[in-house]
Amino acid sequence: MRIIAGSAKGVRLTKVPPGTRPLSDRAREGLFSSLGSEIEGAVCIDLYAGTGACGIEALSRGAESCTFVDSSAAAIEVVRENLERTRMVERARVVRSEGRRFLGRERGSFDVALLDPPYEIPEEDLTGTLALLVDRLAPNGLFVLTRPAPGDSTDVIPLHWRAARLLRYGDARILVVRREP
């Protein structure tokens, strides 16, 4: 795994923590190419951070800052190492917490939320996390949700939000979700 574009382009990331299924380089490249200038200057959150590759890609492409949240100690260690490798530590905050708990206790808003939860996450857990998240997004904010390719994940999208874009890469479907106009 490596960073695709921006200031850290080409930097190889460290090993993937056990139990983590990272988004492929190709999928990240397609996602961030589709988001374009929306990342520049954005305040981001990378929930279910895993390796931190998505949030680091956002920082590399000009995001102002990114908060990385994961419940796994091994993942948090890998995120920190990858931030060191890419020299992005000063624009990052790393928090070991379950996503819903973090969103319920912390304050502040985000322009872009990146969510790549485990495919086997119970639907009610994901729905609860998204319900808390949408209240924390800026008025023109968006979230990106990765789900397994077979099946339909639009049923977890909160009311008054819509999947504006659907990208497919291997076993991953990536939904870019925005508030309805």
What's the confidence (pLDDT) of residue 143?
A: 95
pLDDT of 151 above 70: no
Average pLDDT of the chain? 91
Give the list of residues 6+ apart from residue 71 with CB closer than 8 angstroms, or none.
96, 97, 98, 99
Q: Whole-prediction pTM value?
A: 0.93
Please indicate, yes or no, if residue 1 is contained in any of the structural domains: no
Range of the domain at 88: 25-179
Give the list of residues 6+ apart from residue 31 with CB closer than 8 angstroms, or none.
23, 54, 144, 167, 174, 176
Q: What is the pLDDT of residues 19-45, one digit of tens each?
A: 788 788 888 899 999 998 999 999 999
The count of domains in the chain is: 1
Please indicate, yes or no, if residue 9 is contained in any of the structural domains: no
